[in-house]
Amino acid sequence: MSNAYQVAIVGAGPGDPELLTMKAFRRIQDADVILYDNLVSDPIRALFPKDAEAIYVGKKRHQHSLPQSELNQFIVKLAHEGKQVVRLKGGDPFVFGRGSEELLALIEAGIDAEVIPGITAASGCGSAAGIPLTHRGLTQSCTLVTGHGANDLNLDWSSLARGQQTLVFYMGLSQLAEIRHHLIKHGKRESTPVALIENGSRPNQRVVISTLAAMASDALKHRLTSPTLTYVGEVASLHQQLCSQHSSHPVIAKESA
């Protein structure tokens, strides 16, 4: 790795290999060992150099290959062996990616490390589907929320339900009914537009346009699977206007009944 850092924590973006940054691509090409997550797409894995050791470390829901603490120790061990290590994550390492936890472990071990940001899924998938995070007159802010275990999270649902904002739920597919319940309970309109984006930016991308009231049933009806992002807010209503002119990826739009 032609830089001063022994470990690079790298964001791979939402899946389209052309959305990798140049710096991320260079680090991948120079790596001795690449530790990659479930969300790193096949086309990006095809870019791994043949002489690099590629190790899958999981992070799929309920199928983590290594607990985070053990993974941190493994990265430190590889670095102590003199390996040039790339820790490759879907999206951005510092957005629900535990990149900061791994960086802290490396700092505590005295290992030089860098973080290379990636396009986070909320931005990359939304752009691929013609759904902006902000739009003048429709939204004043954007909030990224982890939907993993939404019923157990100490979320300020009243704040999330308030005002003209776009909510993007990561890892929330299995919690859509809970998310719907809490938002409606705290005042969000049942008719609020919702977009569900499966495999955003990838050739098999699908988009389901729904409403807050119907999103859980529509996700089941269309058999959506992870990774799926949930966009709640008026910007979801722009999908049909923007996607046909804007997106170069196949989009299957399903209107909720």
Q: Per-domain residue ranges for the chain? A: 7-116, 121-244
Cα distance between residue 250 and residue 183, in whole Å:
31
Q: What pLDDT shows up at residue 245?
A: 55
Q: Which of the pair, 254 or 152, is modelled with greater confidence? A: 152
Q: What pLDDT shows up at residue 250?
A: 47
What's the whole-number mean pLDDT along residues 230-255? 74
Helix axes 99-108, 68-80, angle to 10 degrees: 50
* Residue 224 pLDDT level (bands cut at 50, 70, 90): very high
Q: What pLDDT shows up at residue 154?
A: 78
Out of 74-83, 93-102, 163-172, 235-244, least confident range: 235-244
| 165 beta partners | 141
Q: Which of the pair, 61 or 171, is modelled with greater confidence? A: 171
Cα distance between residue 34 and residue 107, in whole Å:
19
Distances from the Cα of 45 to the Cα of 26, 28, 40, 53, 130, angstroms: 14, 10, 7, 12, 26
Average pLDDT over the chain reads 91
| H or E stretch at 176 | helix 176-185
Assigned CATH topology for domain 121-244: 3.30.950
Residue 75 pLDDT > 50: yes
What's the whole-number mean pLDDT along residues 116-138? 96
What's the whole-number mean pLDDT along residues 41-53? 98
Assigned CATH topology for domain 7-116: Cobalt-precorrin-4 Transmethylase; domain 1 (3.40.1010)
Residue 1 pLDDT > 50: no
What's the whole-number mean pLDDT along residues 111-119? 97
- What percentage of the chain has pLDDT greater than the value 70? 88
Q: What pLDDT shows up at residue 58?
A: 84
Residues annotated as catalytic are: 37, 59
Q: What pLDDT shows up at residue 240?
A: 87
Q: What pLDDT shows up at residue 60?
A: 60
Residue 48 pLDDT > 90: yes
DSSP string, 88-110: EESB-TTSSS-HHHHHHHHHHTT
